[in-house]
Amino acid sequence: NSDEEIQQFKASLFWLGLDQSTAPRMICSWVLFFLMTLLVPLLNALLVYCRHCDEDHKHPYQGIVEISESALAMVSFLCVSHIFSVYGLHKLLLFDYIARDSTEVQVGYKKELHSAFRVLAMILFPSFLVALVHKLWWFYYVSVNLPRVSESSLINAVMCVSVMAAWLYKTTIFLFVCVLFRLLCSLQILRLQSYNKLLEETPDVSVILSEHMRIRDQLLIISHRFRVFMVSSLLTITFSQFVSLFMLTTSRGSVNFFRAGDLAVCSAVQLTGFVVCLNGAARITHRAQRIVAIVSQWHAVATCGTYAVAMPSCDADKATEPVASAVVGPAHPFLARLEATIDICSTPKEPSKYDIDSFQKRQALVTYLQHCNAGISLYGFVLDRGFLYAIFGFELSLVLFILGNTMGF
C-alpha cells in the first residue's frame, strides 16, 4: 500500500523538518534551515567566549567544524529539497515502478523502508552522546556575552540547548540523505536478486532483456538525482578533513577530548555518512556488473545443453576396457529441467533453425550486457572498485603531501 507508506514517510520527514508538501510546511522547513545552519552557529561564534580558559581548554577547531557542518547540511538540504520539489515523494521512492515487481521484491522493499530510520538512529545516537558530553563540558567553562544581560547559568543552558539542537539538525539532514540513497540502492539489489531467479524461470531472451533495461533505467535515475549531492559531499568532506589535518599537524598545543572532541565527532559523522553512500553504490554496481557473468554462464550452459549431451559412459557395457563415466551436471539451475527431457545416450543432434535463432538471441543479449556499463555513476564514472581505488589514491596523496609539508616526512 504505497499511500500508507508515503504517509508514514511524510510523518518522519515532518519531524526532521524536511516536509515540504504544503506551502506552510515549506516555509517552516526553510525557516528552520536558516535558523539551525546559519543563525545559531553565527550566534555561537559571536557571543560565546571563554575568558578564563587556558591552552588546554580552548577550542581551536571550532571554526572549521562549524563551517564544514553547516556547508554539508546546506548541500544536503538544497539537494533533497530540489528532488522533493521536482519529483515528489512518490517518484523519489520509486513507487511508480515497484508495482511491476514481484511480491518478494515489494515485501523486501517495505522492510528496507521501515528500517531506514532505524539505521539513521543507530548512526546518530552514539555521535549525539559524545557531542552532548563535549558541549556540556564546554559550556561549563564559557560565558555568553549578551548585551545588557548579566552572565548566568540559565543563559549558558539555553545557548547549550540551542547549539546541540543545531548540531542535531545539521547532522540528521546529512545522514538522512545518505540513508535515503542507501534505501534506493537496496531496492535495486532486491531487483537484481529477482533478476537472477528470472534466468531460472524463463528462456525468453526478450523478457530477460526488457527486465535488465528497466533496472538499468532506474539505476540511471538514481545516479542522476543524487550525483550533485555525492560530488558536493565528497568535495566538502575532503576540504574539511584536510584543513583539519593541516591544523592538527601545525598546532603546538596538546590534542585531547576537550580541545578536539567536536572535530572528532564531526569527522566521524562525515566519514560514516559518506561510507554509507559509497557502500550502497558499490554494492549495487558490483551486482549489476556480475549479471554479465551470470548471463554468460546461462548462455553457455543452455547452448551446451542443447547440442552436446552425449556421454562416453553409455558404451561402457560394450567396451572391452572399462570406460570412466563422465559426470555431467547442470552448471546453472536453468538446466535442472532439461535433464529430465534429454536422452543422454543419444548422439548429438544437428542444430535446428529454432536452436540457431535462440543461440543468436542469447549471444546478442550477452554482447549487450558486456557493453552496457550498468551501475551507479557520477557524470559517467561508475562507482565500482576502480573508482574507489582512485579516490583512495587521491586522498592518500593529499595526506602525504600535508604531512610532508607540516611534519617534514
In-domain check, residue 354: no
Name the phi and psi angles at 381, rounded to 5. -95, 115
Higher pLDDT, 173 or 104: 173
Tell the residue number behind the cell numbers 560565546, with chain if given.
48
pLDDT tier at 55 (50, 70, 90 boundaries)?
Answer: low
CA–CA separation, 379 vs 399, rounded Å?
Answer: 26
Q: What is the mean pLDDT of residues 364-377?
A: 81
- Is 284 in contact with 313 (CB distance < 8 Å)? no
- pLDDT score of 405: 65
From 258, 243, 273, 253, select the one nearest 63 (Cα to Cα).
243
Q: Which ranges of 93-204 would DSSP assign to H, the alpha helix? A: 95-98, 103-141, 153-201
- Strand bridging mode 143-144 / 377-378: unpaired
All three cell numbers of 357: 535463432
347 in a structural domain: no
Which of 81-85, 327-331, 379-383, 384-388 has the highest average model confidence (pLDDT)? 81-85
The number of distinct structural domains making up the chain is 1
Would you place residue 354 in the very low, low, confident or very high pLDDT band (cuts 50, 70, 90)?
Answer: low
For residue 98, the model assigns a pLDDT of: 77
Q: Is the pLDDT assigned to residue 324 strictly greater than 70?
A: no
Helix, strand or coil for residue 203?
A: coil
Q: Say if pTM beats, i.e. exceeds, 0.75.
A: yes
* 253 part of a folded domain: yes
353 located within any domain: no
Q: Give mean pLDDT, residues 317-322.
A: 43
Q: Is 399 within a domain?
A: yes
- The b-or-e profile of 141-165 (16+ CB within 10 A means b, else e) is bbbbeeeeeeeeeebbeebbebbbe
From 26-35, 123-132, 272-281, 292-301, the region with the lowest mean pLDDT: 292-301
Count the Cβ atoms, other than its own, within 10 Å of residue 382. 20
- Per residue in 243-270, pLDDT tens? 888 888 877 767 777 778 888 888 889 8
User: First-to-last CA distance in the chain?
Assistant: 60
**Residue 381 falls within a domain, yes or no?**
yes
Q: What is the pLDDT of residues 108-138, one digit of tens each?
A: 888 888 888 888 889 899 999 999 988 888 8
Within-domain flag for 268: yes
Position 153, amino acid: S
Instruction: In the chain, count H helices and then E strands.
Output: 11, 4
The 10s digit of each residue's pLDDT in 339-350 is 444 343 434 445
| Structural domain boundaries enclosing 179 | 1-48+59-300+365-407
Count of C-beta atoms within a 10 Å radius of residue 36: 23
Q: How confident is the model at residue 332 (pLDDT cuts 50, 70, 90)?
A: very low
Region of 379 please: left (phi>0), alpha (psi -120 to 50) or beta.
left
C-alpha closest to that of 376 among 224, 193, 176: 224
pLDDT of res. 170: 93
DSSP 8-state assignment for residue 347:
P
Statement: residue 314 has pLDDT above 50: no
SS3 253: coil
pLDDT, tens digit, for every residue of 131-168?
Answer: 998 888 888 877 777 777 666 778 888 888 999 999 99
Q: Considering the domain boundaries, does residue 172 fall inside one?
A: yes
